[in-house]
Chains A and B, each alone.
Chain A
Amino acid sequence: MRTGAGAGASEPVVKDDAAFAVRPRQRRRRPGKRAGQYVGVPFVLPSLVILMVVVIIPIVMSLYFSMTQYSVLGSPTWVGTDNYTKLLNDDAFAAALGNTVVYTLISVPLQTVIALLLADVLARRFRNRFGAIVRSTLFIPVMSSLVVVGVVWRTILGTNDGAVNVFLEAFGLERVNFLGDPTLAIWVVGLVTVWKNIGYFLVIYYAGMMDVPAELYEASGLDGAGRFGQLWHVTIPSLRPVTLLVVILGTIWSFQVFDLVYVMTGGGPGGATTTIVMMIFRAGFQNFQMGYASAMAAVLFALILIIAVVQRKVLKSNED
């Protein structure tokens, strides 16, 4: 480290065999001082250019658009915070926000608890072929697109000739208007989400459980804890970081829901399943209020950041 600039400057010139033994050490010591210090730059450039075009510039533009009035044609006109004040008084946006929260409160706790319980059963009882088959079967809905999931469930739950209603009628029961009833529809969409996500979170939980030391279970077994006692006192506390991940991911996904709602209900009935992203899509691409839609997008972004930070804080404080 004391060799200083002299060694660094002479370095590129050294080409004789005798110097090879010394060179690597010098390189690591003063990485910033060698001639090739910018060797890495061309490697970064392609990704940087693409990220600029698809994320960095758009995020700046989005903030700018949110302060303008902008239809697809013509150029944006500066209106300052008008869009945001309009949002504050927009009942439809408040309703969409409420729907998104209700949808999240339905799907996230359920998918988290079910995935945890199933993973526990699989990790403690079925670390065998059967368990592996169950895990890969439950993963199948995860790979399917939300559009396919939505289209299939819509057909199954349709009011007039949906499979479930055909079935109900065959047993002499009354038809249920699953997607046409405002209070039911949001539950249906939420439960379909749970159905799709369980396999994903199950796999994450299962991987976490593989890392819980067996001694912890043995020790709690000695203390007389049963299966549920061990789940409560060993598994859940050991998997707190995994739960943090599962809850944050689930919530962020819920706040971004679009495909499923678009295909299953179109936001209806009567706006009962219109979520934030659904509103952004409608405002931007159907009503051509790109500025107003950008303001909603900014609010969505802020909400997602707040959720991530708050959940991290809450789950961290639980640890103490």
Chain B
Amino acid sequence: MKTDIVEVTTRSSVVVDKAALRRESRRPQGRGWPRLADSIAATVLIVFCLMALLPFAFMVVTSLQRTNVITIFLDPAKLELSNYVRLFTENGFGAALVTSIGVVVLACVVNAIVCSFAAYAFAKRPFPGSEALFWLYVATMMVPAQVTLIPLFTIMRDLGLLNTWVSLFLPVINAFGVFLIRQFMSSIPDEMLEAARIDGASEMQLFFRIVLPSMKPVIVALTIFTFLTTWNDFLWPLVSITNDRMQTVTLAVAKLQGRLLTDYGIIMAGATVSFLVPLIVYFVLQKQFVEGVTSSSVKG
């Protein structure tokens, strides 16, 4: 009995001590400090946010003014859309937008289908040698795009595919999607697939009715990542597209700068158009967007 009481009291006193210490550790420098430190930290963060945004604000402001001298200030009197009009009438941005959107849609759809197909086989229908094949897939993820650039160019040229949508979207397909989706597919219980098979579902029905719907979140993430890499790709379109009618938006922006070095208004208008599409998608799908892009970090 007695020992029990002692133990309880010691225990409770220790708890009190801990709480006091914890309070102490929260404010190492006395009262008022945390609030001051918090506002300093908040100010630093706001400065970083401004630094992240200012160049884009500058880009938009410049694109809306007809001027060859850059100002950081918005002059309402000079505000006009003439740069955007010239962008689409004289510089083929309409065609570039169509190409970019078409290629992005193709890349996203084909990548999602092809990758989830393969992931399904690797996760749920392994065959002799599939393990080794999967490691070959993973190994291809280590190859930087710049290394395959020259052979890819000659292959596409020999197949007569240069300056086509196929040549623009095909190299976007990579094993990363297979790798990503396979991880999620393992979580589908085998029993569920087995039950569907017994009910007479064909392998295809199984895939499209059961497997694919449960892969929605990861496919959305992969699609966002595919969208961003395809939309922003530059080196491959630069070497493979020689026909101006087939140029992508990113390529068109770089070409604008090359041709009209000091016409800042129109260059910034092109940059704004190129930036606006991912930005809108980002605002709509913010959470999935960050997940989609960060999950690509596994790629290495």
Contacts and interface: CB of A to CB of B under 8 A. Distances in A.
**Chain A, interface residues (CB within 8 Å), range:** 35 or more
Interface string B59-72: 10010000011111
A140 B150 contact: no
A34 to B, nearest CB: 11
B187 interface: no
21 contacts: A23-B198, A40-B121, A40-B127, A54-B171, A72-B154, A121-B44, A126-B42, A141-B52, A143-B282, A147-B250, A151-B257, A152-B55, A156-B58, A195-B52, A203-B294, A221-B25, A222-B21, A224-B25, A280-B149, A285-B239, A290-B154
Interface stretch (B5-13, B79-87, B215-223, B226-234): B226-234
B173 A61 contact: no
A47 interface: yes
B125 to A, nearest CB: 3
Contact of A44 (B133, B150, B267): B133
Interface stretch (A90-98, A160-168, A180-188): A160-168
Contacts, number: 285
Contact of B300 (A142, A145, A293, A308): A308
B271 A20 contact: no
A-B residue pairs, 3 tightest by C-beta: A40-B121, A40-B125, A221-B25
A203 B290 CA distance: 8
B173 A47 contact: yes
Interface residues of B, number: 101
A133 B264 CA distance: 31
B235 A281 contact: yes
B180 interface: no
A139 B290 contact: yes
A143 B278 contact: yes
A293 to B, nearest CB: 6
Contacts of A238: none
A288 B194 CA distance: 56
Nearest to B289: A143
A252 interface: yes
Contacts of B198: 20, 23
B69 A161 contact: yes
Contact of A166 (B71, B117, B124, B234): B71
Interface of B: 18, 21-22, 25-26, 28, 37-38, 41-42, 44-46, 48-49, 51-53, 55-56, 58-59, 62, 68-72, 113-115, 117-118, 120-122, 124-128, 130, 133, 136-137, 140, 142-155, 170-171, 173-175, 178, 190-191, 194, 198, 203, 207, 228, 231-232, 234-235, 238-239, 250, 253-254, 257, 262, 264, 267-268, 270-271, 274-275, 278-279, 282, 286, 289-290, 293-294, 297, 300
Q: Is the interface of B mostly helix, strand, loop or mixed?
A: helix
B279 to A, nearest CB: 7
A133 B90 CA distance: 39
A46 B230 CA distance: 20
Contact of B231 (A121, A134, A145): A145
B63 to A, nearest CB: 10
Contacts of A141: 52, 55-56
Given A47-B115, A155-B267, A277-B146, A137 B53 contact: yes
A284 B152 CA distance: 12
A61 B194 contact: no
B51 A55 contact: no
Given A156-B55, A203-B290, A249-B297, A46 B147 contact: no
B56 A51 contact: no
Interface stretch (A102-110, A171-179, A297-305): A297-305
Count chain B CB atoms within 10 A of each CB in A28, A143, A256 and give the residue with the most: A143
A41 B239 CA distance: 35
A84 interface: no
A146 interface: yes
Contacts of A314: none
Contacts of A23: 198
Contacts of B190: 24, 28
A151 B258 CA distance: 10
Contacts of A50: 114, 170, 173
Given A136-B286, A204-B294, A51 B173 contact: yes
A153 B264 CA distance: 12
A225 B21 CA distance: 11
B151 A61 contact: yes
A22 B212 CA distance: 28
Contacts of A300: 144, 146-147
